[in-house]
Structure 1
Amino acid sequence: MLPSRFRPSLLALLLAAAFAAPAGAASVAQGAPANSATPATHAITHEDVWLMKRVGAPVPSPDGKWAVFSVTDPAYDSKEQWSDLWIKSLTDDTPARRLTFSKGGEGGVSWSPDSRQLVFTAKRDGDEASQLYRLDVAAGGEAQRLTTLTLGARLPKWSPDGKQLLFTSDIFPGNASEADVKQSAKERKERKTSARAYESFPPRYFDRWLDDKQVRLFVMDAQPGAVARDLLAGSKLAALPGFGGAQGDDGQSLDALWTPDGKAVVFAAATNRLDAASTPTITQLYAVALAGGEPQALTADTHSYHAMQFAPDGKTLFCLTEAETKGKVYDLTRLASLPWPVGQAQPAILTAGLDRSISRYALPEGARRVYFSYEHAGLEQLHSMAYDGGAVRDEPSAATGAISALRAGGKALVGVWESSVNPPEVVAFNGARSKRLTDFNTARAASIDWQPPEHFWFQAADGRQIHNMLIKPPGFDPHKKYPLFAVIHGGAANMWRDQFVLRWNYHLLAQPGYVVLLTDYKGSTGYGEEFARAIQFDPLKGPADELNQAVDVAIQKYAYIDGDKLAAGGASYGGHLANWLQATTTRYKAIVSHAGEMDLVMQWGTSDSIHNRETNSGGPVWSDLPVWREQSPVMQAGNHDKGTGFLTPILISVGELDYRVPANNALMNFATQQRLHVPSKLLVFPDENHWILKGENSRYFYNEVHGWLAKYLK
């Protein structure tokens, strides 16, 4: 392959290919490419799941003619895994083409206003932290490194005139320049002690201990070697002890965008991060002039705001918001708007009449409508409403599956669609029906013997309607009997989706010959605010009762389910519920618990998030509230002597780097089972966090789950 500096312009290649290549695109309703004969199928394997190409969110160009997205070519050995950017024409059926050829992968893609250049983040040529790179898509050639910052750069955005870049980076306390940052980093590297010190909560997040970096917004000319300037330098806002952004895997981020005239930047930030142990972290909207100075508050209430976008005409600022209702465990994410300039206006809540959380939204040019998706009964489909709110209109999208990304560029509207039997592909939503634009996984998916989920509902004891999906094994025969594996989702503010998943793939779990039951118990999202809040003060018992009832309904409804061969399992909050079922009933022959809570008090004190747990239980652990003891699985150990719990064989697994549900829960669980002489097995993954993310670890985990179920169900 020629080095990119010798390659012709990619746009020229795509135009040439348009006259030589077949279309290859299809409606997302189709499960296989057109004109293909029905192939012989096989039962799904771990290789099928792990080696499916992973298609990232498409970023359409401002002129609506192109979409760029990442594609990861996975491997069991992470050293052999590749991730690159691909580009797809949105105006014809030219197949997608690879845009970059680098093993490390790229992120934070942003188009220039003239739709000719990209800026992205990557680690290349010995970069210790991600830097900004600029690629001339129209002219071709190598990407140019724009930054060499000690702490790297992330989330770049072009200015409206295409001359400057806005991005997020970090400084250490007291730093005023890049030279200061470099010196501070050197001093930390040369320290002879490895001790960490903390004076605020939380000290750690998911799988890493936090440090003292402070997040900032920077602006620089879009040229190599240009000096980056801290927009918040010297401001009273950034100097507040509780100032910061949303915490993520790469550190804190400040959600930010340019104003339409390019003279200022709008961003979302919190000022109460030091109070995270006792109150929600509230993010408000601010604007700071391009010249710097003190940011102006655009909102001043108790809501949180994020995901801002300006309407194409620049007259309206849209965003997503949560009410952060005091004393409530969950709030819907709603769509809000502000006139621009804001002046004294208050945010208008556009979806106040919609009892669903908005997942994502987009603003195509000329439509004067906001397009969005939300969860409902296992699906995420496309909807819209006028800029000023009003009635919600259903838009053309697949009747099954879920939209997992959505972006607008010009008049184009693109995203990612997937289902449990259709791994992710890029789709276009313009026109009378959605159109699949890529075929990275369709051939492999067509070779697998799998069926879409079957949906059913039942009425719970408290009158709520409970939604379920049923997954059938390969070679399914309705005249046979199959064991049932009830798999429990995490969250609890989550929902089972008709979606291709990696960590608990429905069809791979069913592959040995099990029917898999997926139930959205109370506390789940996708059924309204009250349904999600119903878990409050009843964190485990109520949801578990509904899971047991779902099993009863499934056995009664489907004659092919063997009611004498039942198993249950889940991860995270699903692991909490798996532990509760093992502690309170003997109806299941086997239990699988990954990252499961064993004691509410211990989990409150050792996890990286405590306020929501306190809110859910009704008060602090030292209050005289029975829930802390009565709904802790370990405190039900007396059920063992009564013959009503702590008898079912249990497979327990945990990642040592899990700081969300720390490993002490799994250790307590295993100790309890061994003390009571219950058949039990503990799997510890030293290099994994809350999830099992490494290929061979994942394969081992699925093999252990299948082995455990086979031992007690077959």
Structure 2
Amino acid sequence: MNKRKLEAKDLFKLQSITNPVISPSNKEAVFIRTEMSEKDNKYYAYLYHVNLETDEETQWTHQKENISSPRWSNDGKYIAFLSNREDKNQLFLLSTKGGESKKLTNLEKGVTSFNWSPCGKKIWFVAPLKEGANWDDEPKKEENKKPEAYVVDKMKYHADGVGLLPQDVYRQIGRIDLETEEIEQFTKGNHQHSLQAVSYDGKKLVIGVNREENQDFSFKQPIYLVDTETKEESLLVDEDGYFGGASFSYDNQYIAFVGANRTFQNATHAEVYVYNTQTGLKEILTEGIDAPVGDYAGGDLQQGSSAPNVVWTKDNHLYFQLSSMGDVRLYFASLEGELYPATPENEHVYGYDIANDGTFALGTISNSVFPGELFRLNLTTGERKALTSFNEKLLEEVELVEPEAIVYKGAKEWDVHGWLIKPAGYVEGKKYPLVVEIHGGPHTLYANTFFHELQLLAAKGYGVLYVNPRGSHSYSQEFVDAVRGDYGGGDYEDIMAGVDYVLSEYDWIDKERLGVTGGSYGGFMTNWIVGHTNRFKAAVTQRSISNWISFYGVSDIGYYFTPWQIGADMTDIDKLWDASPLKYAVNVETPLLILHSENDYRCPIEQGQQLYITLKGMGKETSFVRFPQSDHNLSRVGLPNLRQTRLEQITGWFEKYI
């Protein structure tokens, strides 16, 4: 059978299989399947059940909605989940014996997250609440409400994907009685609370809350152990950085969580911590590994995917994800110091759960030519079995190209890791153009995972080079930190060294027909490249940064991200300007397409506007495409039709100029 070439519109045929959760009996599980509807121009996520004794798979929800966060009750009789079927996410309950799901909450601002009480009669939840209000007397949404002025008195007042942050609204923890449906508010005060874990005896919670009055320059959320009856608190951790994702061991003696301090600001590797509730001592289980705990892979599939930070087994062993050398693997750890990978190389474990007896895992797993399905993994033998095949039909239809892993010397003679994809339908002896793709972050990574955009470029007849320059995760702490204070320096050298490497090693690449593209940090780097070299015949910059001076004040993270990454604030305008691609616009000779989302608060659209008007005013070859109703995540979870348009714009620009 001759396979056809992959197309942009195949986005609508890709299925995202995520969020496996094993039942307490280890005999069944649930997971989520997400699809994009071309007709409705929306995403729909459905709850599925799988019998782990027979492998029989059953769809449990069918409404056009987004299901998220499925959780089993401790007796395995119910599944609770969040659904946006009535706009805001609300809490629903579904009997595992069948029947319709029951709506448990009707809160004005929805429910953020939840955890079962071990008794199975109550559910703890987190939901936004107006200052001084109660959930049972929240005002209902007013029709034809007049617009009101938004008074800003904080620096953290807007966020990408949200817009202006609700004022005088705070996330509070509450619990709902499943029999009476009465809600009791547990936390109070003008603070943002998170609920991370409930002990197996129901007596303790792990919560996160920062009670500092001014949090503009506070980058932490202290974690507390709280008595559910007396509300007495004991502090687990209180230091700058991210700490969270806590989980109790089955005997309640230990609490595991993941944390990254601010030693290297947002480039610091995350570690697995374990707190002993009896001794009050903390230890770091992963300090012997020079790689970050968690999943930092970039991509354009796996919508709605989330994975637990850590999972315990009943014999007090732990499992977690680790980003390592371009992979995201499942790792095992014991309290005695054992530490080793539980899944192989060359793949992306983007979701998982562990049977409580430690005998098997469920994993949602992808690789470079495999969009991802649900697998059962034998943790003793390493054997695996596919439980789903939702993407099988598409894989039978389209030609995908296996990337070749490469390693070369970058700046300072450091090893740089990347991949090269040959064009689909490659013919020996023929010359082909090459497109260089640059990831965002910069502290993310290209991984051994499916990336529709990269395969699409190959289908259009391009070779594709994508690498992990310094600043990328999954390598050493020194490597990921090396980009800070050196944007456009060693990272630029790493990328261009990769171009030189493949041109010297692969004679099928036409060195006169090179293109470059990237988004966010990758957009910054694309802008930087075309201002510093004329080697590329065409470039596409996406959701980019062009001017660090204006970025400082307009981005939702600008005022702190800029000093972290560039090493300067508004007291050192010269340093910010020297690091700004806009300064070098006069040097640009490469035709540049500028793509930007109108509701991007991370890299606001004025960054693209400045670059476009400057280049256009200089008579440069450029074009500007604006995407309405879209934020910084357009390429991942944006409106489906605009995601397709974006891909067509990229490939169309390269077809025109390369």
TM-score for the superposition, normalised by structure 2: 0.92
Q: 1: CA distance between counterparts of 2:427 and 2:605? A: 41
- Seen in structure 2, the aligned counterparts of structure 1 residues 269 and 478 have a Cα distance that, compared at 3 Å, is farther
Following TM superposition, by how much is the alpha carbon of 1:313 offset from its aligned partner in structure 2, in angstroms? 2.7
2:228 is aligned, of 290, 295, 298, to 290
- Paired residues for 1:453-602 under 5 Å: 453-502=403-452, 505-602=453-550
Q: 1: CA distance between counterparts of 2:320 and 2:648? A: 39
- Seen in structure 2, the aligned counterparts of structure 1 residues 565 and 303 have a Cα distance that, compared at 3 Å, is closer
Following TM superposition, by how much is the alpha carbon of 1:121 offset from its aligned partner in structure 2, in angstroms? 1.5
Q: 2: CA distance between counterparts of 1:616 and 1:301? A: 21
| TM-superposition CA deviations, 1:301-353 (whole Å, max 9, x none) | 4453101111223221100011122x645110100001124x5x242111111
Equivalent residue, structure 2, for 1:657: 599
**2:407 aligned with 1:448, yes or no?**
no
Following TM superposition, by how much is the alpha carbon of 1:392 offset from its aligned partner in structure 2, in angstroms? 2.3
Which amino acid in 2 is paired with 1:130? N
1:198 is aligned, of 135, 149, 152, to 152
- Seen in structure 2, the aligned counterparts of structure 1 residues 696 and 79 have a Cα distance that, compared at 3 Å, is closer
Equivalent residue, structure 2, for 1:393: 340
Mapped contact 2:41–2:639 kept (Cα < 8 A): no
**2:3 aligned with 1:48, yes or no?**
no
Q: 2: CA distance between counterparts of 1:204 and 1:300? A: 25
- Could you list the runs of 5+ residues in structure 1 that have no partner in the other structure? 1-38, 246-253
Deviates more, 1:145-154 or 1:413-422: 145-154
Q: 1: CA distance between counterparts of 2:42 and 2:436? A: 35
Equivalent residue, structure 2, for 1:16: none
Q: 2: CA distance between counterparts of 1:454 and 1:409? A: 35
* Structure 1 vs Structure 2 CA RMSD: 2.0
- Paired residues for 1:251-270 under 5 Å: 254-270=194-210
Which amino acid in 2 is paired with 1:574? G
1:403 is aligned, of 334, 349, 357, to 349
Q: What secondary structure does 1:200 align onto?
A: coil
Following TM superposition, by how much is the alpha carbon of 1:484 offset from its aligned partner in structure 2, in angstroms? 0.8
Following TM superposition, by how much is the alpha carbon of 1:81 offset from its aligned partner in structure 2, in angstroms? 5.1
- Seen in structure 2, the aligned counterparts of structure 1 residues 196 and 450 have a Cα distance that, compared at 3 Å, is same
| TM-superposition CA deviations, 1:225-261 (whole Å, max 9, x none) | 521111113xxxx44xxx325xxxxxxxx14211221
Equivalent residue, structure 2, for 1:354: 289
Following TM superposition, by how much is the alpha carbon of 1:364 offset from its aligned partner in structure 2, in angstroms? 5.1
Which amino acid in 2 is paired with 1:206? D
Equivalent residue, structure 2, for 1:36: none
Equivalent residue, structure 1, for 2:609: 667
Q: 2: CA distance between counterparts of 1:80 and 1:679? A: 35
- Paired residues for 1:675-714 under 5 Å: 675-692=617-634, 693-713=638-658
| TM-superposition CA deviations, 1:482-539 (whole Å, max 9, x none) | 111000000000100121235xx21012221100000111111011111111011112
Mapped contact 2:68–2:83 kept (Cα < 8 A): yes
Equivalent residue, structure 2, for 1:227: 182
Following TM superposition, by how much is the alpha carbon of 1:141 offset from its aligned partner in structure 2, in angstroms? 1.1
Q: 1: CA distance between counterparts of 2:87 and 2:538? A: 46
| TM-superposition CA deviations, 1:49-101 (whole Å, max 9, x none) | 3321111211111221111111123222336754210011223332x110112
Q: 2: CA distance between counterparts of 1:387 and 1:398? A: 23
Q: 2: CA distance between counterparts of 1:628 and 1:80? A: 40
- Seen in structure 2, the aligned counterparts of structure 1 residues 286 and 628 have a Cα distance that, compared at 3 Å, is same
Q: What secondary structure does 1:698 align onto?
A: helix
Equivalent residue, structure 1, for 2:247: 309
Q: What secondary structure does 2:550 align onto?
A: helix
Q: 2: CA distance between counterparts of 1:709 and 1:349? A: 48
Which amino acid in 2 is paired with 1:216? Q
- Paired residues for 1:74-113 under 5 Å: 74-78=36-40, 82-94=44-56, 96-113=57-74
| TM-superposition CA deviations, 1:551-608 (whole Å, max 9, x none) | 0001001111111111111011100000001111111100100111111111111100
Mapped contact 2:209–2:221 kept (Cα < 8 A): yes
Q: 2: CA distance between counterparts of 1:362 and 1:451? A: 34
> Identity over the aligned pairs, expressed in percent?
24
Q: What secondary structure does 1:274 align onto?
A: coil
Which amino acid in 2 is paired with 1:353? G
- Paired residues for 1:621-640 under 5 Å: 621-623=570-572, 626-637=574-585, 640=586
2:114 is aligned, of 149, 152, 156, to 156
Q: What secondary structure does 1:182 align onto?
A: coil
Deviates more, 1:493-502 or 1:162-171: 493-502
Q: What secondary structure does 2:568 align onto?
A: coil
Q: 2: CA distance between counterparts of 1:377 and 1:53? A: 27
Which amino acid in 2 is paired with 1:587? R
Mapped contact 1:232–1:294 kept (Cα < 8 A): no
Q: What secondary structure does 1:275 align onto?
A: coil
2:126 is aligned, of 160, 168, 173, to 168
Q: What secondary structure does 2:346 align onto?
A: coil
Following TM superposition, by how much is the alpha carbon of 1:361 offset from its aligned partner in structure 2, in angstroms? 4.8
**2:86 aligned with 1:136, yes or no?**
no
**2:276 aligned with 1:339, yes or no?**
yes
Q: 2: CA distance between counterparts of 1:265 and 1:684? A: 46
Following TM superposition, by how much is the alpha carbon of 1:214 offset from its aligned partner in structure 2, in angstroms? 0.5
Which amino acid in 1 is paired with 2:181? A
Mapped contact 2:568–2:575 kept (Cα < 8 A): no
Q: 1: CA distance between counterparts of 2:330 and 2:266? A: 27
Q: What secondary structure does 1:507 align onto?
A: helix
Which amino acid in 2 is paired with 1:684? R
Q: 2: CA distance between counterparts of 1:523 and 1:128? A: 38
Mapped contact 1:473–1:513 kept (Cα < 8 A): yes
Equivalent residue, structure 1, for 2:589: 647
- Seen in structure 2, the aligned counterparts of structure 1 residues 533 and 88 have a Cα distance that, compared at 3 Å, is same
- Seen in structure 2, the aligned counterparts of structure 1 residues 310 and 62 have a Cα distance that, compared at 3 Å, is same
Which amino acid in 2 is paired with 1:374? L
Equivalent residue, structure 2, for 1:114: 75
Equivalent residue, structure 2, for 1:248: none
- Is the radius of gyration larger for structure 1 or structure 2? 1
Equivalent residue, structure 2, for 1:178: 135
| TM-superposition CA deviations, 1:272-304 (whole Å, max 9, x none) | 48333x34x212211233235453322234453
Mapped contact 2:15–2:390 kept (Cα < 8 A): yes
- Seen in structure 2, the aligned counterparts of structure 1 residues 329 and 712 have a Cα distance that, compared at 3 Å, is same
| TM-superposition CA deviations, 1:427-470 (whole Å, max 9, x none) | 12224223221111123113221122110111113121100111
- Seen in structure 2, the aligned counterparts of structure 1 residues 683 and 168 have a Cα distance that, compared at 3 Å, is same
Q: 2: CA distance between counterparts of 1:361 and 1:256? A: 11
Mapped contact 1:42–1:447 kept (Cα < 8 A): yes
Which amino acid in 2 is paired with 1:659? Y
Q: What secondary structure does 1:628 align onto?
A: helix
TM-score for the superposition, normalised by structure 1: 0.85
Mapped contact 1:595–1:690 kept (Cα < 8 A): yes
| TM-superposition CA deviations, 1:145-198 (whole Å, max 9, x none) | 1122222223222111211101111111122x2244327x65xx6753332112
Deviates more, 1:664-673 or 1:477-486: 477-486
Mapped contact 1:135–1:142 kept (Cα < 8 A): yes
**2:215 aligned with 1:275, yes or no?**
yes
Q: What secondary structure does 1:298 align onto?
A: strand
Following TM superposition, by how much is the alpha carbon of 1:391 offset from its aligned partner in structure 2, in angstroms? 4.1
Which amino acid in 2 is paired with 1:656? E
Which amino acid in 2 is paired with 1:284? P
Deviates more, 1:687-696 or 1:549-558: 687-696
